[in-house]
Structure 1
Amino acid sequence: MALMIISSVVATPSGNKDISVAIEEMERANYFTFVMLINMVPPNLFQGNVTFLMPSDRSLSRTMVPAQNSVMDLLLRHSIPSPLLFDHLLHLPTNSMLPTSNPDLMLKVSNRGRRSLFLGNVKIVSPNICTHGYSVRCHGIDGVISIEKPGLASPITCPRVASAAAPLPLLAPPSPSPSPSSAPASDPPHGAAYETSGGVRPQMELALTTWMAFVWLLYSKAKLCV
């Protein structure tokens, strides 16, 4: 019974009402062109649980949007399928990827604090414009999100571990030099080699340290791919 109540609450949010409330907030903030684009697409395209990234009227006036499908693509590109306040976005680390409503597009985050938060090629300049609705948030940005610039919609690919790097060669120990007959019997073999900077012990320590760093690098790459 509790599960049915929770699912009914989640399944029936005031989506259309929240969109209407958000449109009123957009108009009060002078984002009239973005409101016009929302009114051009089918009303069931957005039913709540969304964050809009809104270019200014001036930015949109310089963008060619020739057909209805292009309007839909532009809105999907400028929306995130989750209601996120600006404080939520500030928790995203730099170089993380934020999904948009377009399943083929992800925005690379560059987070330098409240005054410099970039999503792809745009910067959030007017945060938290839409806040009164339950499931719709919106923020003003300083341009139009472009899919032509690098770093916006590139899937994360993980190289194969076998081809990541060639194995390190084993270091051959130096050939032992003949010990003089007068050397004391208590001296360890190759004692001079251990004491000099080019001896066996420093070389083996360097090889061990390098190998451990190499293994850690492969482990870090494999962890990112999981």
Structure 2
Amino acid sequence: MDMESHNMTLSAVLMALISSATTATTINNVNQDLVVAIAEMQTANYFTFVMLINMVPPSLIQANNVTFLMPNDRTLAKTTIPENNGVVDFLLRHSIPSPLLFDHLVHIPTGSIIPSSEPKFMLHISNNGRKSFYLNNVRIISPNICTAGSSIRCHGIDGVVKAIATVSPSPSCSNSSSPMAAATPPSPSWPPPSSVAASPVGTPSNAPPPTAQSDSPKKSGSSQPLPFGGLSLD
């Protein structure tokens, strides 16, 4: 092996060692932040949430900076979490992929939407001041529990985060038909009453001309029939 090849090999090994050391330092820093954050959670009596964190792979938290939204132990005791990926999904919905102190959150105006760590699960902001700051259906009641580390923040909330139901707009009247209107039968077209009332009852406009009366005398008590079933009382 010549000197040039030997130097290239040493350079490659040296770069690999530097890269490994940098990665290990980063992981150790994140792990240290997580250890510190867990200690702060336990001090604030969020033991059940700590248990959930310990149930998921460490890479879930090491991958990104994060802000946890933590229900208290009493709330979690009443919550059913599905098996398999249920714990992972729960933690993703209860976290924001950025370390945000409460002072950062309260500057977000009402109506804003921020992402959670779970793709497509959004958090809708309702900001009515420090004592009434909501994300979806939950209110932050214990802000800034985790502050010592640089990559993890956490806040206590008063419930389990749920999705906000979106209401689809109702169709316009021009594009829809009323079922009752479609089921209503058409009203019959009766002949106008004026066609009969326009001429006298005894001589309708379309009646045949009267026949010549017989010269024979009428019998007492007899009646002469009239058109339309009328009776002559002569």
TM range (shorter): 0.5 to 0.7
Please name the residue that 2:43 is paired with: 28
1:150 matched to 2:165? The reply is yes
1:42 matched to 2:90? The reply is no
Deviations 1:16-75, CA, capped at 9 Å, x for gaps: 111111000000000000000000001111015100000011111111113140000000
Please name the residue that 1:139 is paired with: 155
Query: Within 1, Cα distance between the matches of 2:136 and 2:150?
Result: 26
Tell me the amino acid that sits aligned with residue 62 of structure 1: K
Please name the residue that 1:130 is paired with: 146
Structure 2, unmatched stretches of 5+, are 1-21, 169-234
5 Å-filtered alignment, 1:1-80, equals: 12=26, 14-47=29-62, 49-80=65-96
Query: Within 2, Cα distance between the matches of 1:66 and 1:85?
Result: 30
Runs of 4+ in 1 over 3 A off after TM superposition: none
Deviations 1:132-176, CA, capped at 9 Å, x for gaps: 0011000000000012x425xx9xx9xxxxxxxxxxxxxxxxxxx
Please name the residue that 1:86 is paired with: 102
Secondary structure in 2 matching 1:21: helix
Please name the residue that 1:121 is paired with: 137
Secondary structure in 1 matching 2:114: strand
Tell me the amino acid that sits aligned with residue 65 of structure 2: N
Contact preservation (8 Å) 1:41, 1:68: no
Tell me the amino acid that sits aligned with residue 66 of structure 2: V
5 Å-filtered alignment, 1:134-213, equals: 134-147=150-163, 149-150=164-165
Tell me the amino acid that sits aligned with residue 133 of structure 2: L
- RMSD of equivalent CA atoms: 2.3
Query: Within 2, Cα distance between the matches of 1:123 and 1:74?
Result: 17
TM-score by length of 2: 0.58
Secondary structure in 1 matching 2:67: strand
Deviations 1:58-94, CA, capped at 9 Å, x for gaps: 1111111131400000000000000000000001010
Contact preservation (8 Å) 1:40, 1:68: no
Contact preservation (8 Å) 1:109, 1:120: yes
Query: Within 1, Cα distance between the matches of 2:40 and 2:73?
Result: 15
TM-score by length of 1: 0.60
Query: Within 1, Cα distance between the matches of 2:84 and 2:134?
Result: 28
Secondary structure in 2 matching 1:12: helix
Please name the residue that 1:214 is paired with: none
Please name the residue that 2:200 is paired with: none
